[in-house]
Amino acid sequence: MSWLGRLLGEKPDEALPLYTAVVTRARAEHWYRDGAVPDTVDGRFDMIATLLAVVMLRLEAEPAGGEPAARLAERFVDDMDGQLREIGIGDIIVGKHIGKMMSMLGGRLGAYRDGLAAGDITPALLRNLYRGAVPADAALAHVRTSLMAFHAALATTPMMKLLAGELP
């Protein structure tokens, strides 16, 4: 943050390290190559939203996790707003698209929360990551196994490390 920002009372973007780590993880080639996630704008959005949902569920598990989760959601909105503008979506309808994206993120949070509680995230993956298309068994197994391992590793990662963007 610049000295002028500090002078004017701007707050640092505390969610940026964690959000950046989530996006970096979502861009990993194995999701698209081994997991057959479509390497498209929608597929990349879906992968970011999936990992973001898993991280937000981890934050929810902490007594003080609500505020960091909310800041992470705000960072997501800011990023998606910029991405939409970059691909040419005009000011008039950006808000509508952002509302839809937030609804999609909320739906994923619920679907993955339920799937994790039931011990089977396959229906959530098929609906939310693959958008109803059925990938090859090996691809689905790769994504499912990778996400479950990520979820388990997050559970043992201290909150301070997460907030610093140190994902397992």
**pLDDT, position 143:** 98
**CB 69: neighbour CB atoms within 10 A?**
20
Residue 166 lies in a domain: no
Residue 4 lies in a domain: no
**pLDDT, position 119:** 93
Residue 2 lies in a domain: no
Tens of each residue's pLDDT in the chain, 168 residues: 444 444 445 455 788 999 999 999 999 999 999 999 999 988 998 999 999 999 999 998 888 777 888 889 888 877 776 666 566 666 666 667 667 777 778 889 999 999 999 999 999 999 999 998 999 999 999 999 999 999 999 999 999 999 999 999
**CB 74: neighbour CB atoms within 10 A?**
13
Residue 7 lies in a domain: no
Residue 109 lies in a domain: yes
Please give the residue range of the domain that contains residue 154. Answer: 13-161
Number of domains into which the chain is organized? 1
Q: Are 23 and 79 in contact (CB under 8 A)?
A: yes
Spell out the long-range contacts of 21-27 with Cβ–Cβ below 8 A and sequence spacing 24 or more: 21/165, 21/166, 21/167, 22/48, 22/51, 22/52, 22/55, 22/72, 22/167, 23/48, 23/79, 25/51, 25/150, 25/167, 26/50, 26/51, 26/52
Residue 110 lies in a domain: yes
Q: Are 53 and 109 in contact (CB under 8 A)?
A: yes
Q: Which residues contact 19 (CB under 8 A, 6 or more apart)?
A: 52, 72, 75, 76, 79
Residue 150 lies in a domain: yes
Rounded Cα distance between 16 and 28, Å, is: 19
Residue 34 lies in a domain: yes
Rounded Cα distance between 98 and 78, Å, is: 9
pTM score above 0.85: no
Structure tokens at 57: 């569920």
